[in-house]
């Protein structure tokens, strides 16, 4: 209620990217001042409940709802985001070397559609800067995933080296990793999802993960984030390649280039569309992945989640966890309590004692 009455009207009068930085800076400050995290937890935190807590990838998730990559690109506000009800969060996308990203303006709101278009271009301060921040955190209350990408100037044939560098620099400080080869805002990045490029890239990633596991004495999960803008044949190939590569799971999906049904003036802007218009397609891909893999490859569902029903639909389609991004912009931090309560009610309605029983239920 506080966000809808005060925060959202203020932020929506501002340039979207300036509003974004104001939120990150505010959460960063709250995470550093005495009592700041406790205040955030008291206002927006979610109490862990047995029926929604999940154990996956050797990690404990106090809630199945996480924060998608893109909001905290440099791991500036991890304590703040950790206090407002998320069960996990992604930081990044981070690249080996810091880069400014694409020219501004590069972030656009489409309020009638409850959507965003971004063409940020992996703007971030680089892997070493993120490593320093995560190291300084020490213990953290929720799992932190590091979303990794390649620098814009790195040609695709050398992209594997960028992913290896990110893993090497950040392995001690990430709880798990996400390989981003599906952003539409880095030239030719999505070509890495197809053909022999995908297989060779994932082989390099898995080798690097295994090498770091031996060095640090602990194996960690690595997932692949895929795009929604693929044909049925492309998707089938991607799923087969990902499953056979030895990675731990995938995230479905990244933003879309589609503008179907969007009439807002910003629909003409280039970049990836997120929010409600993505919901049906991302759920469709989750369902396809679950069926093709027999439910043996864990999925994190992402795209268009605004309500508990949205999240539950993705879980029933086959997602083990879900994550939000655009809904945070439109609904504010209160959304996590709404999702938590709603998921509990939906489990009771369907006679499930634990969220894991609902995973893939639509296929049974």
CA of residue 325 relative to chain centroid, distance: 8
Out of 82, 182, 183, 320, the active site residue is 183
- Given a contact cutoff of 8 angstroms between Cβ atoms, the answer to whether 95 and 122 are in contact is yes
Peptide bond into 301 cis (omega under 30): no
Tokens read off for 25: 């800076």
DSSP annotation string for 248-277: -EEEE---B---TT--SGGGGS-SEEEEGG
- Given a contact cutoff of 8 angstroms between Cβ atoms, the answer to whether 303 and 335 are in contact is no
152, containing H or E segment: none
- Given a contact cutoff of 8 angstroms between Cβ atoms, the answer to whether 96 and 162 are in contact is yes
Neighbouring residues of 246: CB distance < 8 A, sequence distance ≥ 6: 202, 206
**Phi, psi angles (nearest 5°) of residue 47:** -75, 130
DSSP state of 103: P
**SS3 assignment, position 5:** helix
Active site (annotated) includes residue 200: no
Torsion angle of alpha carbons 288, 290, 292, 298, nearest 10°?
Answer: 130
Give me the count of residues in the chain. Answer: 364
Tokens read off for 192: 């890495």
Q: Could you give the residue numbers annotated as active site?
A: 183
């Amino acid at each position: 209620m506080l966000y809808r009455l005060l925060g959202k009207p203020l932020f929506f009068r501002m340039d979207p990217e300036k509003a974004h930085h104001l939120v990150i800076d505010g959460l960063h400050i709250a995470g550093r001042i005495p009592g700041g995290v406790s205040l955030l937890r008291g206002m927006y935190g979610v109490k862990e409940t047995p029926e929604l807590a999940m154990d996956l990838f050797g990690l404990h998730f106090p809630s199945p709802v996480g924060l998608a990559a893109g909001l905290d690109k440099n791991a500036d506000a991890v304590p703040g985001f950790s206090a407002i009800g998320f069960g996990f969060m992604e930081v990044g996308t981070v690249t080996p070397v810091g880069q400014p990203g694409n020219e501004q303006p590069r972030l656009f709101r489409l309020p009638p559609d409850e959507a965003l278009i971004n063409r940020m271009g992996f703007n971030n301060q680089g892997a070493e800067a993120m490593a320093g921040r995560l190291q300084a955190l020490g213990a953290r209350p929720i799992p932190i995933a590091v979303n990794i990408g390649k620098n814009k100037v790195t040609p695709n044939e050398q992209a594997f080296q960028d992913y290896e560098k990110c893993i090497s620099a950040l392995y001690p400080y990430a709880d798990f990793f996400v390989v981003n080869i599906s952003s539409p805002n880095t030239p030719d990045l999505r070509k890495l999802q197809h053909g022999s490029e995908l297989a060779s890239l994932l082989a390099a990633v898995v080798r690097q993960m295994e090498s770091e596991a031996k060095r640090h004495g602990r194996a960690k999960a690595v997932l692949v984030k895929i795009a929604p803008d693929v044909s049925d044949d492309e998707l089938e190939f991607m799923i087969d390649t990902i499953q056979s590569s030895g990675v731990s799971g995938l995230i479905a999906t990244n933003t879309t280039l589609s503008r179907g049904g969007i009439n807002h003036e910003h629909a003409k802007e280039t970049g990836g569309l997120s929010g409600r218009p993505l919901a049906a397609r991302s759920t469709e891909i989750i369902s396809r992945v679950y069926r093709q893999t027999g439910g043996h490859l864990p999925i994190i569902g992402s795209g268009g989640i605004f309500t508990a029903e949205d999240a539950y639909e993705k879980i029933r389609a086959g997602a083990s966890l879900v994550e939000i991004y655009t809904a945070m912009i439109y609904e504010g931090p209160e959304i996590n309590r709404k999702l938590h309560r709603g998921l509990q009610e939906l489990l009771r309605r369907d006679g499930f004692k634990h969220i894991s029983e609902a995973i893939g239920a639509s296929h049974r």
